[in-house]
Chain A
């Protein structure tokens, strides 16, 4: 077991840190050795990537907090413009080391301003002699901002000429980031997924105070057995564990089984967990509803999930419009005559046709069709005479807003508009009934 060792930091703090980051000791020690001592210059930029909930954010946060390193932590999704991002960094910097009331935020529109203000802030807070860490979480968002933001952050040390290290956290690999030329390549670091053993260890760590650690560990074991196949997200697993634990304890509370009676407990909980996998995990029913169900001991059957309500009630002509749109989207134009005309000619079966019929149109997806074709099919599938009233046209538009149809290429008003049908065959079957 690699114990964390570093001459610059007190051993007690390191020990504490180690207890906080289970299964990530090697990464932490690597990071520590990269960071070096407080006043030493570190690598200008570090890129850490790994799958969802592999502890990137958590490790960085605990590391910086426990060792009390000066840092700024920013989530890039939250700061959706570059201005917000830069200002957020400056604000955090101002309140970082000093207890003084933060002054009103200064407007910072460009990276040039940022560098200037950043240097000022460093001097005024007395941070020149320590490494400042700027952590940008969900850094993939940076790619959508102005083109200069990402390269500039990578070279922030050089630009500001001060002791600063930028840490980028992301779920995707560096290769997808790299701007074209002249970019400083950061040091990349990979956080591997937690293995089932790791998950077991981490999840069992915080057990409820009423029960022993062993009892909870056994429960986690069962839980992982059910859910590991579909979900490796630590957060989600912890959430599920908390949701279902009371059910697991039920026999013990009632006195029917003691804490060691694993087999009995397993029999009790397993079907319940399977049901949870089909409902709560998919967010078919909400977790609060699930808890209430557990409480009342009701059958989840009474409570229909979201997917149960697929039926959409549509006005009479809207139904026909959707059906007509579906037909227009999935049938080739040349078959229209055959299907919708009373006196169509003989069906010629050519080799050419046969070859094409083999690939199902459903595999190819919907094709766009002009408005007139939609109306022509509508007239032929509705029994009665349909007047092309304003209501029919407005229904087409409202179907577009309902996302049942979608408009293709809406540049020219005079050009006949073209649509696509976006609903599935099942939907059409349901409304055609």
Chain B
């Protein structure tokens, strides 16, 4: 393997073994079981929360789709005798579902879609993937298999004959599908309604058959065309609805299907929520909340967001990364046992062992804290476990309160910054969050410039923002904000009392009108100069004074509450901040890893003999490393004989010169064999390949000196 993954705790967790694996690395650590349980319960909470969020987000789309599906065939069923309906060509109702390029998330959407349809519209749903359908035959096979199985699922008590009929015996043609559909719907009708209603009360007499093409782009034109042509001929007997899952743009339909085929479809477009909005909601609900004790540090969050924005746009991967953070935190940090809800905190702090207390004392943030205390307390903290525990509990409670306040104030600040022109602190709250976590935000240039801009806001904007802030603060659970809310409300009433400010503005307007009357250039210049003077000297209006006050007040709030988390004592317990580990796991670099392994085998093998400076070629290194390093020195074509020569020189370098020729001959053979093996390994790894240009040469496939 080129990227050496440490045996991640995740796998262990997934396999649901006991928590003993958790202790492997930290043999000194305690509370392994408790940590494991905490981790599990926390993850379960988060998982259910994310599922809820995603359900809510998809609801709109699903509702639209359902109304489309229910509309699509009911119209025709209602008025078959109508002239227009008779004349009109029966098109296949088709929903083009634009889902965005984050293909990894689509599965979840389709799953919830098919569940939702199953509950609301029809039991007959088939999900098709392009990789299963290279030809029309495979498509029909897959389709019929899925549809008929789902029939068996619906009422599995009777119909032995259907189960008996094996897949191969059913003729995979549309006519047998139609026969099946007729028999199924007829049975549903004829059976006693009381029994049937219970199982499928929400479905109608003849529910549509929904065929979902998960990845429209990958289907071949021929298969799609044939399928559409065939099914359009039987639309009267089989109420079919197609759903195309589209990752790029709906134009793909026109690119895949010629007009003669696309004219058989009645396409309506549905668009899912953009993945960026989706991510914002997830971050909002998972990170900017006081619900979960576990938090992400700035670097880690940045890594996750970067992977999302730069690489895949996949919300699923983001959540998986988040899960990895949780597991890694509880796995590597023995004190993570304290990362729990406030109610459990006291019990857990009291049951800490001496070793754990030592662990706390070793935390850098705690050491900083101790240094700030007076000497008597320092001694007590460092020697008395019980005192330390009391102090720890207090500090952790403080940390929770800090987070609560942090979130509320962050939202308030976001209200201001998100309406400024050019968004110096970012448009999204996640950017602001990152900036605040990174370092003291009020020190940054961006913050200063956004304050500057905030000082130029107009009155109505300011009032609505203040209103929003009041709402945020009122809804927050923090207790400290009563005063703040009062203060903000006072500002708002002051703004309302500022009628006279307008009159002054009227004056300036009238002076501008005067200015327009002037035609003489000289006079114009003079008045302009005068106006400039007056403006400079004019003392601030009341409105401006008030505006300054508001902005200063917001600034003071920011300075008080938006202190970066790593300035807080004991932040290591709640905040996960080892980004390097995460990056190694999530954003692996195979080429780099391969190069490191071959160039510097000590990195992975940890063999003391290999330790040494990177430049030279040690004969202790594995053969493949020696061959690799030698080949780096060559050009595009490598002469095998020269290479062997160099290889044997390096290998022989460490050994004392042997006078015995017979044994050196034998040695040569062994070296030759080793060399050939090393070369073929390099070929397998894709560094070289045999060349036809010159005999006895191989071609290098990598470029540059790496």
Contact = CB atoms under 8 A, between A and B. Distances in A.
Do A and B interact? yes
Interface in B246-286: 247-254, 259-260, 262-263, 265-269, 271, 274-276
Interface in A65-120: 75, 77-81, 84, 87-88, 105
B174 A78 contact: yes
A243 interface: yes
The interface size bin for chain B is 35 or more
B572 interface: no
Q: Which of A87, A235, A309, A395 has the most CB of B within 10 A?
A: A309
A41 to B, nearest CB: 31
Contacts of B172: 84
A278 to B, nearest CB: 14
B32 to A, nearest CB: 32
Contacts of A235: 89
A357 interface: no
A309 B103 contact: no
B266 A403 contact: no
A313 B249 CA distance: 9
Interface stretch (B93-101, B540-548, B627-635): B93-101
Contacts of B259: 282-283
B588 A390 contact: yes
B89 A239 contact: yes
A310 B274 CA distance: 15
A264 to B, nearest CB: 23
Nearest to A404: B248
B612 interface: no
B217 interface: yes
Contact of B312 (A242, A391, A403, A404): A391
A312 B259 CA distance: 23
Interface in B576-596: 587-592
Interface stretch (B80-88, B184-192, B413-421, B503-511): B80-88
Given A312-B248, A313-B101, A283 B263 contact: yes
Contact of A309 (B88, B89, B250, B266): B250
Contact of A315 (B75, B229, B311, B590): B311
Most chain B CB inside 10 Å of its own CB: which residue of A315, A401, A414: A315
Contacts of A84: 171-173
Contacts of B313: 313-315
B559 interface: no
B137 interface: yes
Interface residues of A, number: 63
A307 interface: yes
A395 B317 CA distance: 14
Contacts of B587: 387, 389-391
B271 A390 contact: no
A401 B274 contact: no
B309 A316 contact: yes
B233 interface: yes
A416 interface: yes
A309 B249 contact: yes
Given A246-B84, A286-B268, A81 B137 contact: yes
A39 interface: no
9 contacts: A75-B233, A78-B173, A84-B172, A88-B175, A241-B87, A304-B269, A306-B251, A314-B101, A398-B103
Interface of A: 52, 75, 77-81, 84, 87-88, 105, 206, 208-210, 233, 235-236, 238-239, 241-243, 245-246, 282-283, 286-289, 304, 306-307, 309-318, 372, 376, 387-395, 398, 401-404, 414-416
Given A243-B84, A403-B248, 8 more contacts: A80-B137, A238-B87, A242-B84, A287-B266, A306-B254, A317-B310, A387-B587, A415-B689
